[in-house]
Amino acid sequence: MPELTRNGVRIDDTFAEAFDMRATALVITAHDARWARQAALTMTGFATSVIGCGVEAAIDAELDPDATPDGRPGARVLIFAASTSELQRQLQARVGQCVLTSPGSACYAGLDGAERLRLGDALRYFGDGWQISKRLDGRRYWRVPVLDGEFVCEGTTALTKLAVGGGNLLLLGRSSAATLRAAEAVVAAVAATPGAIAPFPGGIARSGSKVGSKYPAAIASTNDAFCPTLLGLVRSSLDADTAAVLEVVIDGLTPQAVGEAMRAGLAAAVALGPEVGAYRVSAGNYGGKLGRHHFHLKDIV
């Protein structure tokens, strides 16, 4: 496979194949940053892949009080799904179970747009008739009585159909520690990119997958071409001295956000160099047949 080299790191001449998604954003606040983050982390738990979780979600940014609607510390979360109906279902369930229940929490729209998803408009019934509606600057808010006071929740949040899921980078290293170091650097770069998230645990997936399986019921299975333990047993894409491979999957509110996150992540991996981090960077695709968004590494390097 043709490749480029930057700072001693080999970059495969390949592309990440990504897909159209539906997405929304929320701003979650609390009386202090710790509890705002706790509500956001709980809400975005079990949200690594739409294949098994229904949505992909993570914290996009932690917000200072001057950047939130109620002047309290907060966190902005992004939530991605394959359909509007699934996004609405997951939004209602996750806010209801994870934000409404969190001490001192409030929840607001984190995205503007004409097409809307129900937020407080769906959760207000928990107030059992005691909920109160207020309109401020053209927006509806609900005040729902709870045991520590009131849960304030905006009525709706916006939906975008421009979102993209599945951008990715594969980090190949000569030791597990070096590979993890490279992946962590990529995740930090993605986290600093507005409008993009890496939804897997700590932003990293060790279980990179391919489409299909020898078992008919499984729609995805281990990416054997990048499994070091299968070197010599399958048609491998690895060099003989590859010890570990880690994947960083990237979702963004726009194709541009995914491209910028991949560019920042690739730069971070290259900056480490092959002795400290990854000696090679690649990307996962399905031959260009499944996703219409193709992010070529040679173009973003």
Residue 131 belongs to domain with CATH number: 3.30.70.520
* pLDDT for the residue numbered 286: 86
CA distance 120 to 126: 10
- Do 140 and 97 lie in a common domain? yes
* Of 3 and 95, the one with more pLDDT: 95
Is residue 20 predicted with pLDDT exceeding 70? yes
- Do 138 and 178 lie in a common domain? no
Give the residue-averaged pLDDT of 92-98: 98
* Of 63 and 3, the one with more pLDDT: 63
Give the residue-averaged pLDDT of 92-101: 98
- Do 287 and 155 lie in a common domain? no
* pLDDT for the residue numbered 287: 86
Beta 139-146 vs 74-81: how paired, if at all? unpaired
Out of 160, 190, 224, pick the residue that ends a domain.
160
Closest CA relative to residue 279, chosen from 186, 171, 169: 171
- Do 36 and 70 lie in a common domain? yes
- Do 152 and 247 lie in a common domain? no
Residue 188, token pair as written in the block:
């930090």
Q: Cβ neighbours of residue 73 under 8 Å, at least 6 residues apart?
A: 29, 30, 31, 32, 33, 36, 62, 63, 64, 65
Alpha-carbon Rg for the chain in angstroms: 21
Q: How confident is the model at residue 100 (pLDDT cuts 50, 70, 90)?
A: very high
Helices (H), the chain: 33-43, 50-53, 84-94, 120-123, 176-191, 255-272, 297-300
CA distance 67 to 17: 34
Out of 108, 127, 160, pick the residue that ends a domain.
160
- Do 156 and 170 lie in a common domain? no
- Do 24 and 137 lie in a common domain? yes
- Do 31 and 126 lie in a common domain? yes
Is residue 1 predicted with pLDDT exceeding 60? no
Out of 125, 142, 160, pick the residue that ends a domain.
160
Residue-range definition of the domain harbouring residue 116:
20-160
User: Which pLDDT tens digit goes with each residue over 28-79?
Assistant: 999 999 999 999 999 999 999 999 999 999 999 999 999 999 999 999 999 9
- Do 29 and 10 lie in a common domain? no
Give the residue-averaged pLDDT of 229-247: 96
Domain count, the chain: 2
- Do 177 and 262 lie in a common domain? yes
- Do 208 and 145 lie in a common domain? no
Beta 280-282 vs 9-12: how paired, if at all? parallel
* pLDDT for the residue numbered 2: 60
Mean per-residue pLDDT of the chain: 96
- Do 189 and 264 lie in a common domain? yes
User: Which pLDDT tens digit goes with each residue over 123-147?
Assistant: 999 999 999 999 999 999 999 999 9
Q: How confident is the model at residue 162 (pLDDT cuts 50, 70, 90)?
A: very high
